[in-house]
A = this chain, B = another copy of it.
Amino acid sequence: MALRRTRKKTADKSTYHHGDLRQALLDASLALITEEGFGALSLREVARRAGVTHAAPYRHFADKEALLAAVAEEGFRAMTSRMKEEMAREPSPIDRLGACGVAYVLFAVENAAHFRVMFGPHFTQPLTPTVLGEDADAYGLLVGVLAEAQRAGEVREGDTADLALACWSLVHGLASLLVDGQLDPEAVAGGVAALARTQTLLLVGGLARPPVD
């Protein structure tokens, strides 16, 4: 899988059959959700797909929720990384804001299973950026670039938190509608990337500071 990290090879294969069972379990979870839907996710089936018996996962995860939390954390890191990449290409703050939003939507569509786990109502204790660390703080990234765009005079003044929530809501809503298949196929005909750009620009355009003539 694209998101797999480098494997940590272990010498003693006789007692540790996988190079990295933990990672194999995360990958198997995503494949299972992608192929059979979230409802089909069980620790036993995940173990089966990873090629181990159903007791093995408990060596790495206390329970199902712990496994899901690990999947979500991996997802937040990957999404944040993706956003940073796309933003790095843009010279102006407002363009970085747009790139940030497009990256959010594209990550969701290309990693639907991750996205579902990240934002589903699965966790007893919320997965705050504080818990996950700054490598996974996608929201912080958004707030940062938005504030920067305001300081540069490219985005209208106003409560940054309010504006950030509007941005987040728009891209999260579009991503959710796409991931959950709620959009008329006709609307998506031109491609998800184009759609994400159009929508993001609509909001960013609405937020842009009217040029002072």
- Given A198-B162, A203-B206, check contact A177 B169 (CB 8 Å): yes
A182 near B: Cβ within 8 Å? yes
**Contacts of A100-133 to chain B: CB distance below 8 A:** 116, 119-121, 126
**Bound complex: CA A203 to CA B161 (Å):** 15
Contact B170 A166 (CB under 8 A): yes
Number of copies: 2
Cα A198 to Cα B120 with chains together (Å) = 25
Assess whether B181 is in contact with A174, with CB atoms less than 8 Å apart.
no
Contacts of A166 in B (CB 8 A): 170, 199, 202-203
Question: Bound complex: CA of A179 vs CA of B172, how far in Å?
Answer: 13
Task: Give me the 9 closest cross-chain CB pairs, A-B, nearest first.
Answer: A206-B206, A173-B173, A169-B173, A172-B173, A169-B174, A166-B202, A170-B170, A121-B180, A169-B170
Extra pairs beyond A126-B181, A173-B176, A206-B206 (10, CB < 8 Å): A119-B180, A162-B198, A162-B202, A163-B202, A165-B187, A166-B170, A168-B177, A169-B199, A170-B170, A173-B174
